[in-house]
Chains A and B, each alone.
Chain A
Amino acid sequence: MSGPLHLAWRYLAARRGRSTLLVLCVAIPLFLPLGLSVAVERMGRELGTRATSVPLVVGAKGSPLDLVLGALYLDTHPPAATTMAQVERLRESGLAEAIPLHLAFRARGFRIVGTTLDYFRFRSLSVSAGRPLGLLGECVVGAEVASSLGLAPGGRLLSSPGSLFDLAGTYPLRMQVCGVLARSHSADDRAVFVDIRTAWIIAGLAHGHAALRPQEILGQEGQRTVANASVVQFEEVTPQNIGSFHFHGEPGALPVHALIAVPRDAKSATILKGRYLDPRDPCQILVPSEVMRDLLDTVAKVRRLVAAGFALVGAAALLAVALIFTLGFRLRRREFETLRKLGCARHTIAAMVAWEIAFVLGAGIAVALLLATGAGALAPALLRALIL
Chain B
Amino acid sequence: MIRIEGLEFSYAGGGFRLSLPELSVEGGETVAIVGPSGSGKTTLLHLIAGIERPVAGRIRVGETDLTALGEARRRDFRIRNIGLVFQEFELLDYLDAEGNILLPYRIHPALALTAAVRARAAALAEDLGVRGLCDRTPDRLSHGERQRVALCRALLPEPRLLLADEPTGNLDPAAKAQVLDLLLSQARERNATLLMVTHDHALLGRFGRVVTLPTGAGR
Contact = CB atoms under 8 A, between A and B. Distances in A.
Interface string B99-115: 10001111111000000
Interface residues of B, number: 25
B196 to A, nearest CB: 16
A66 B191 CA distance: 91
Nearest to B72: A345
A378 interface: no
A5 to B, nearest CB: 10
Give the interface centre of A7, A342, A345 by most chain B CB atoms within 10 Å: A342
Contacts of A329: none
A342 B104 contact: yes
Given A14-B94, A343-B78, A338 B106 contact: no
Contacts, number: 56
A35 B201 CA distance: 69
Interface string A230-259: 000000000000000000000000000000
Contacts of B106: 3, 6-7
A348 interface: yes
Given A341-B51, A343-B79, A345-B75, A10 B99 contact: yes
A339 interface: yes
A334 B90 contact: yes
A29 B75 CA distance: 42
Interface in B72-90: 72, 75-76, 78-79, 84, 86, 90
Task: Classify the interface of chain A: helix, strand, loop or mixed.
Answer: helix
Nearest to A12: B94
Contact of B108 (A334, A335, A343): A343
A11 interface: yes
A13 B94 CA distance: 8
A334 B108 CA distance: 19
Contact of A343 (B75, B93, B94): B75
Interface string B104-143: 1111110000000000000000000000000001000000
Nearest to A5: B106
Given A342-B79, A343-B78, A345-B72, A10 B94 contact: yes
Instruction: Identify whether the interface residues of B are mostly helix, strand, loop, or mixed.
Output: helix
B51 to A, nearest CB: 5
B95 interface: yes
A11 B96 CA distance: 11
Interface string B130-169: 0000000100000000000000010000000000000000
B49 interface: yes
Interface string A1-42: 001101100110111000000000000000000000000000
Interface of A: 3-4, 6-7, 10-11, 13-15, 334-335, 338-345, 348
Interface of B: 46, 49, 51, 72, 75-76, 78-79, 84, 86, 90, 92-95, 99, 103-109, 137, 153
Given A11-B94, A341-B46, A342-B103, 19 more contacts: A3-B106, A3-B108, A3-B109, A4-B107, A6-B106, A10-B95, A13-B94, A14-B94, A14-B137, A334-B90, A338-B90, A342-B79, A342-B84, A342-B153, A343-B76, A343-B78, A343-B107, A343-B108, A345-B108
> What 3 A-B pairs have minimum CB-CB distances, sorted nearest first?
A343-B79, A14-B94, A3-B106
